[in-house]
Amino acid sequence: MFWVILASFLIYTLFVMWFSWYKTRGTDLSSSDGYFLGGRSLTGIVIASSLILTNLSTEQIVGLNGQAYSESMAVMAWEVTAPLALIFMAIIFLPRYLKTGIATIPDFLEQRFDLRTRQVVSVLFLMGYATVFLPTVLYSGSLVIDGIFGLTTLTNLSTFQIVLFISLMIGLISCGYVILGGLRATAYSDTINGIGLIIGGLTIPVLALIVIGSGNFFEGVGQLIDANPTKLNALGNHESPVPWSILITGMFFNNLFYWCTNQSIIQRSLAARNLAEGQKGVLFAGIFKIFGMTFLVLPGIIAYLLYGNTLANADTAYPTLITDVMPVVLSGFLAAVLFGAILSSFNNVITSSITLFTLDIFKPIFKPNAKEKELVKVGRVFAACLATVAVLIAPLIIYAPSGLFYYLNEMNGFYSLPILAMIVVGFFTKRVPALAAKVVVVTHIFFYGISKFIIPDVNFLYVLAVLFPLNVLTMLIIGRWKPMEVPYEMRDSQVVDVTPWKHVKWFSALIVVLMVGVYALFSPIGIAAAEEGYYSPWSVVFLGLSLLFVAVVIWFWRDTNHKLDRKFNYEQVDKKEIDFEQTITMEKKGS
């Protein structure tokens, strides 16, 4: 059995490696654009695949299904609401990014604010990637690979040793992709792994439903719907990991950061051949996210139907389902697909990290006159160092708390929303100074940290729902108090064609319709049911107050812009009048 699994695993994995090498063998990796942004040559399909695979990793596949097993379909919000943020990325954020020709998010922040803001944000990204995200991807991925191949049983090694060994293998292979092939190699490997993930991911719930229906798929679907309809309710109450009252506030703000400003995600879009291809890639990924819950959430619900409350650890629901329903001959293929998801997340975050370090820290601080080849060399060395640190930290996560998926999102909250606030305010104001960007980082971390002590049991998404508009308000107040004398003007770098995709609006509308349709299906007006007393009046009150707060911030924003415009216009008129009077006086003296 082991050798059959290993053979199918190696065949698929080696094919993906060969395909990536074949498609990138002519790429110029001697320039920073060629190495970090794939020569700005990526097409819509490649961008969509890379976005999906960067997003999906084993801690999400295992963690979300584990949450669904222990909770309900409410956790599908992490997937199904994401397309709304991707629409904002396609229509609002991406055109501005490509117009300015930036390679990193901090690059834009330097253009809008100053160099110090750029470096502060780069450090925040790198700390989050190096100490939390990369080690967790390695740890969770190692557990999945160990579960499929049974390495602990075969080798008699401890879990710590197995995680260290598998993490080392992933790190070495990842460095091969990133160091030798740059962004373009990882993007093309994502294209093939994306196809494999769709096939492999959908296979699990289909086979599981056939098992439930005693060989009949449709009978299995009927049993899933009838057995526990409250489990299928996607509208979570205030005790749920994703309460319904924060879907358009806290969850939306969290998604905006992740899909519109997170460097490891948007770097794929920044490498687009043109705006039209970038918008295609982003929106194609949005369609996928709507239906991603079929293998990221639904298997957990099916596992509950099969096993009830017998599983001691909810995170074992998905691996247990794989073991029970997947034929041996396909197990190696699924292992290779999951390995590809692990590798993709690791590769793409490593690529983004070396881009941040090389262009935002090394060049401006240590060697402003560094040549292109030198930057690429430094990036490769940093990639090896970062991978080494992640590999060493990964086994230590054994001692971390359970529920890593929720934990990761909660920890990201320390730095995510200040960055989002900087970008949004930077786009739509002209006189908010760099001081505001620095202050909002400190105030957000302070208030978010305090919330962990004062209200530790409150869902962090409630906190984000309040803190994001507060961050924006803080920046606007500082901008009103100490505005920039010279207004910011967004430059047009003319690096790529920024003509929009002609179908972007109707395609976005289609995504919204599908998203609402999926929520309607998994709600009391569809196939689900709600328990008595499920919805709390407090949730309605919170939603109303948070929306009112957002409305107040928007009003203050508009009022600030109008007052600053009038103020500086009057000053310019006064200056012109003074200059005119001085000219007349000088002429009179001269005569």
**Neighbouring residues of 253: CB distance < 8 A, sequence distance ≥ 6:** 417, 420, 464, 465, 468
pLDDT tens, residue by residue, 92-122: 999 999 998 887 788 888 889 988 888 888 8
Name which of 33, 8, 218 is nearest 107 in CA terms.
Answer: 33
- Given this model, what pLDDT does residue 554 score? 93
Binned at pLDDT 50, 70 and 90, residue 66 comes out as confident
Q: How far is CA 1 from CA 162, 327, 331, in A?
A: 20, 11, 10
Q: What share of the chain is helix, strand, coil (3-state, %, to 5)?
A: 80, 0, 20
Distance CA 447, CA 453 (A): 10
Q: What is the pLDDT of residue 364?
A: 82
- For residue 586, give Cα distances in angstroms to 166, 446, 589, 590, 591: 82, 57, 5, 6, 9
Count of C-beta atoms within a 10 Å radius of residue 491:
10
3 state SS of 42: strand
Confidence of residue 436 (pLDDT cuts 50, 70, 90): very high
The DSSP bridge partners found for residue 236 are 243
Type of residue found at 202: L
Torsion (CA) 118, 122, 125, 131 in degrees, nearest 10: -150
Digit-coded pLDDT (tens) for 490-518: 888 887 888 999 999 999 999 999 999 99
Q: Residue 451 is inside which H or E element, if any?
A: helix 434-454
Distance CA(271)–CA(20), nearest Å, equals 17
Residue 66 and residue 417: Cα distance in Å, rounded? 27
Gap between the Cα atoms of 129 and 346, Å rounded = 10
Dihedral, CA atoms, 472, 475, 479, 480, nearest 10 degrees?
60
Which residue do the tokens 């001269």 mark?
Answer: 590
pLDDT in tens, 294-349: 888 999 999 999 988 888 777 778 878 887 887 776 777 777 777 777 777 777 77
Other C-beta atoms closer than 10 Å to the C-beta of 370 total 16
Nearest of 317, 268, 270 to residue 295 by alpha carbon: 317
Global pTM value: 0.81
* CB distance 357 to 103 below 8 Å: no
Q: What is the pLDDT of residue 535?
A: 67
Instruction: List Cα–Cα distances, 418 to 81, 130, 459, 475, in angstroms.
Output: 21, 19, 19, 10
Position 36 scores a pLDDT of: 44
Q: Say if residues 512 and 222 touch (Cβ distance below 8 Å).
A: no
Query: May I ask the CATH architecture of the domain 2-18+33-564?
Result: Up-down Bundle (1.20)
